[in-house]
Structure 1
Amino acid sequence: MLPAGDDPIRPAASTPVAITLDGERLEGIAGQSIAGVILASGQLGFRRTSAAGRPRGIFCGIGVCFDCMVEVDGARDVRACQRRAVDGNAVTTQHDALPVPPSSERGGSDD
């Protein structure tokens, strides 16, 4: 068994990364998700619902709910909880409607 300190895929805990969220510099450590860096900065909500404008942020933390969608380095619809923060990432919040699941487009029927 490999000691945790010798694990080749585990980044050093002290390796800093810096990202920007809507132009604001946020700092984290290598291995954190983008959502983790955002939450550690004290920001709980970074998206608003399209209908009521209610704040959203991390809900499930495992990529299922899509409440943490952001744009990363020009790529839209990135789940912040699933993407590791990389030094220099430019993250932009998204405030548009989320995609409608196919079953909802058909009126909820599975036929």
Structure 2
Amino acid sequence: MTTTGPARIGPADDPVQPGDAAEIVVLVDDVPVAGLAGQTIAGVLMGAGRQSWRTTARQGRPRGVFCGIGVCFDCLVTVNGLRDVRACQRRAADGDEVSTHD
């Protein structure tokens, strides 16, 4: 008896190739920042060279992406007026307004 593993999906099976992603623009603290469709807000920020975008309340230490999977709360931002959004979990959309936390 032959068993087969899970079906593999390769690049040829993916209708959207990496080079096909549309450019998007999000406003970060009222400054336009370019990204690609499908990126998280954290990905857009890091792609723009930002390693941190908020500071801790007690000691003012910089915070950005730490775990990258939505567990640690270090990457929190406000998106379109919604506070405490994990930037590593939220996909960026063209025209999003992002405010960083202090």
Shorter-chain TM-score bucket reads 0.7 to 0.9
Preserved contact between residue 11 and residue 30 of structure 1 (Cα < 8 Å): no
Q: Which residue of 1 aligns with 2:88?
A: 81
- Aligned to 2:53, the other structure's residue is in SS state strand
Q: TM-score normalized by structure 1?
A: 0.76
1:35 aligns with 2:36: no
Deviation at 1:94, TM superposition (A): 1.6
- Partners in 1 of 2:53 and 2:24 — Cα distance? 20
- Partners in 1 of 2:67 and 2:54 — Cα distance? 15
- Aligned to 2:90, the other structure's residue is in SS state coil
Deviation at 1:7, TM superposition (A): 3.8
After the TM superposition, which segments of 4 or more aligned residues of structure 1 sit over 4 Å from their partners? none
- Partners in 2 of 1:2 and 1:60 — Cα distance? 27
Structure 1 residues 5, 26: closer, same or farther in 2, change over 3 A?
A: farther
| 1:46 counterpart (45, 49, 53) | 53
Preserved contact between residue 62 and residue 81 of structure 1 (Cα < 8 Å): yes
- Partners in 2 of 1:7 and 1:55 — Cα distance? 38
* Structure 1 counterpart of 2:52, one-letter code: G
Deviation at 1:64, TM superposition (A): 0.6
| Percent identity (aligned) | 50
Deviation at 1:4, TM superposition (A): 3.6
Q: Which residue of 2 aligns with 1:65?
A: 72
Deviations, residues 17-62 of structure 1 (Å, cap 9, x unaligned) = 1101101111010110000000000011101000011111010100
Q: Which residue of 1 aligns with 2:23?
A: 16
Q: TM-score normalized by structure 2?
A: 0.82
- The size of the alignment, in residue pairs, is 94
Q: Which runs of 5+ in 1 are unaligned?
A: 96-111
Q: Which residue of 1 aligns with 2:3?
A: none
